[in-house]
Chains A and B, each alone.
Chain A
Amino acid sequence: MFKKILIANRGEIAVRVIRACREMGISPVAVYSEADRTGLHVALADEAVAIGPAPAAESYLDTDRIVRAVRDTGAEAVHPGYGFLAENADFARRLEKEGIVFIGPRSDALELVGDKVRARQTMEKAGIPVIPGMKSIPSEAAEYAKAARSLGYPVIVKASAGGGGKGMRIVAAEKDLGPALEAGRREAKSAFGDESVYLEKYLEEPRHVEFQVLADNEGRTVHLFERECSIQRRHQKIVEETPSPALDDALRLKMGETAIKAMRAAGYNNAGTVEFLLDKNRNFYFLEVNARLQVEHPVTELVTGVDLVRRQILAAADEPLTLSQEGLRQRGHAIECRIYAEDPAANFLPSPGRILFLREPKGPGVRLDSGIYGGWDVPIYYDPILAKLVVWAEDRELACRRMEAALDEYAVLGIHTTIGFLKDVIRHPEFRAGRTNTAFIPKYFDGWAREENTEEALALALAAAAIDETGLRARPKGSPRTKEETAGPWQTLGRWKMGGAD
């Protein structure tokens, strides 16, 4: 087993991997940019290496600097987390050449599943249902119109090198096809340096259902059931759960077997996820492979009892997979809510800044994967994810109630977060009924606003604010005083204008 692992990431996922390392007796090494000097992952690791300026391109995405940090610390393996270099085949290949273990799939498998068109071809050849669409990038413009007509509108323009919604355009009619192709190409070119786009049939209001797969280096492969991730804003997931309310045992079995077949066809090793779209008629189609640890992996861990990060590290160290498909079970229900530094009342505008005070939820069945602390300044440079609140309970309804209670306990004061919005999502009758699809947020939450505070609650809050100003003390007489308490009432008061005092 490895003695030292470098974690080429930041925030909550770096903290998650550090925890797995600790439990396995492995020494974790953090890397950090100038903007993350005070990051939680830096504080929790055994060693921390500065890798450059705040912009990710000059630090977390700079392979030279990461490799140098590996060399300098003597780490034997790199865990890439998600995002940044996690699905970069060139990075994986570079590590392979330098004799450093990449905790993830081999570079050739990574390259294959990273190319959307090649991945589709591979899956189709293996007999896996794919969304009807073009099989290659055409050389002539007229081919697109022809393909769109035979697929039937609406169609969707997708970037071959795509991801994260970049280059995607939904086209409802032929007259919009030309401009959509152009816009898609332009966006794909600037995001991936590759302007290849292709067309797929656009499924309306599908569910997003994905299967977690684990494979060792010898090709032993199991799946750890599904996650439903239909609740999305801007093509990005914000609530995930397992089991999916849409699957029964027969469909689950069929999709799970298909996921394993897909990963075998790609020659895939380590942890990965096969994403499917499930339409209204319960037909499922291969969407893509996520060749990394997923943000939403904790829900799978809670219902299967399997530690996915530990399994990733074991597989990367050439250990044989000791899980059998027959031995894996789903127990209870798990839901994850992503806590982002965003203002959901202002079109999810980013909300970096200082966390003035933090209180995190606790209790039975509550797990918090967090990368923040009170007093920390959330930097402007990176993804706005702060933490993931995950709950487990015996069934879906109980998990929903537990999530509501946990969100109510969760206070992140000083910046805007998605907490209040997520409460309303979990409380929504359509969500409660399990009727979720990828159009859920635009359909039910367009123009969402915070519910007004009641007059009665406001009066209580005002009373509390006033009592706070009176200098009410915490400790009994004789105990040591804090600096703030030593100040007289006239020094601590006076910041707020007192009516009639002047």
Chain B
Amino acid sequence: MEFEFLVDGIAKKVAVAEKNGRFMIKQGDREFEADARRVSDNELVLVVGGRSYDVLIARDKDRKILFMGGREYVFCEPGEEAGRSWTDDHKGPGGGLKIKAPMPGKVIKVLVGEGETVRKNQTLVIVEAMKMENEIKSSIEGSVKKIHVSAGELVDPERLLLELEAKT
């Protein structure tokens, strides 16, 4: 069986074949054999070349987060945007820019209006979470195409706050 995961937006393929509880793994140029045991829904123990790896696994709707040797690995479902950082600006079609909330929180203030021109680094919206105010700034020079939120609203990280249009 071959699986594909997105790692930081890059697709990585891994093939596994099981034989009597042992797994033959092919990943890129690497080939190895793993003896795998499931401890629970959230834990696997792999033994590879005599080395033991305790792997914790958490699942989100479109992500798999693995924890191994004190480090985290985030794998996303291919074809989804979920692998991208929350703070990334999402470029829409036609030179527009979709500004999403960087974190879950509450909109404290919307400082611009639709149609208003904005400078680079101008504060557009203030979102508060955990007693900290975060200013969401414009990364471009342009104008406000559409505003999707208002003060007092609770937002998720995926939530679209506003759309900008680049100056032409």
Contact = CB atoms under 8 A, between A and B. Distances in A.
B58 A463 contact: no
Given A384-B130, A462-B27, A474-B40, A498 B58 contact: no
Contact of A465 (B18, B60, B69, B75): B75
A460 interface: yes
A457 interface: yes
B4 A497 contact: yes
Which of the listed residues B23, B77, B104, B105 has the most CB atoms from chain A within 10 Å of its own CB? Answer: B104
Nearest to A354: B60
B70 A459 contact: no
Given A356-B60, A465-B64, A466-B16, A382 B130 contact: yes
A353 B60 CA distance: 12
B59 interface: yes
B56 A466 contact: no
A461 B38 contact: no
A498 B56 CA distance: 23
B13 interface: yes
Contact of B41 (A342, A455, A456, A474): A474
A140 interface: no
A349 B103 contact: yes
Interface residues of B, number: 62
Interface stretch (B42-50, B90-98, B113-121, B143-151): B42-50
A407 B23 CA distance: 31
Nearest to B39: A474
B3, B15, B104 — most chain A CB neighbours (10 Å)? B3
A353 B70 CA distance: 21
B58 A356 contact: yes
B57 A357 contact: yes
Contacts of B126: none
A349 B135 CA distance: 11
B1 A466 contact: yes
Contact of B53 (A423, A453, A464, A472): A464
A420 B53 CA distance: 19
Nearest to A380: B129
Contacts of A397: none
A352 B69 contact: no
A96 interface: no
Given A382-B131, A470-B18, A499-B3, A464 B44 contact: yes
Interface of B: 1-5, 7, 12-16, 18, 23, 25, 27-28, 30, 32, 34, 36, 38-42, 44, 46, 48, 53, 55-60, 64-73, 75, 77-79, 87, 102-106, 129-132, 134, 154, 157
